[in-house]
Structure 1
Amino acid sequence: MAQQDAEQDKEQIRALVEEWARAVHRGDLPGVLADHAEDIVMFDVPPPQDGVRGLDAYRAVWPPFFAWQAQGACFDIVALDVTAGAEVAYAHALLRCGTPDELAARPEQRLRLTLGLRKEEGRWVVAHEHHSFPYESLEG
Structure 2
Amino acid sequence: MADDTAEIRALIERWADAVHTGDLDTVVADHAADIVMFDVPPPQDGVRGIDAYRAVWPPFFTWQAQGASFEIVSLDVTAGEDVAYAHALLRCGTPQELAERPDSRLRLTLGLRKERGRWVVAHEHHSFPTG
Task: Provide TM-score, normalisation by structure 2.
Answer: 1.00
CA shift at 1:108, angstroms?
A: 0.3
The answer to whether residue 18 in structure 2 is matched with residue 54 in structure 1 is no
Distance 1:44 1:56 in 2: 15
Partner AA of 1:66 in structure 2: F
Query: For residue 51 of structure 1, what is the amino acid of its counterpart?
Result: G
| Residue identity (%) | 79
> Given the alignment of the two structures, is residue 126 of structure 1 paired with residue 121 of structure 2, yes or no?
yes
C-alpha deviation, 1:79, in angstroms: 0.1
What does 1:1-140 correspond to in 2, within 5 Å? 6-136=1-131
The SS at the match of 1:39 is strand
1:109 Cα deviation (Å)?
0.3
Larger Rg over CA atoms: 1
Q: Hey, what's the Cα distance between the residues in 2 that align with 1:135 and 1:13? A: 29
- The offset of 1:100, in angstroms, is 0.1
**2-side partners of 1:59 and 1:19: how far apart?**
16
Q: Which residue does 1:3 correspond to in 2?
A: none
DSSP 3-state at the match of 1:59: helix
Q: RMSD of the TM alignment (CA)?
A: 0.3
Unmatched runs of 5 consecutive residues or more in structure 2 = none
For 1:42, what is the secondary structure of its paired residue?
strand
- Find the aligned partners of 1:71 and 1:49 in 2 and give their Cα distance: 25
What CA deviation, in whole Å up to 9, does each residue of 1:56-114 have, x standing for no partner?
A: 00000000000000000000000000000000000000000000000000000000000
**Separation in 1, partners of 2:28, 2:52:** 11
> How far, CA to CA, are the matches of 1:49 and 1:18 in structure 2?
26
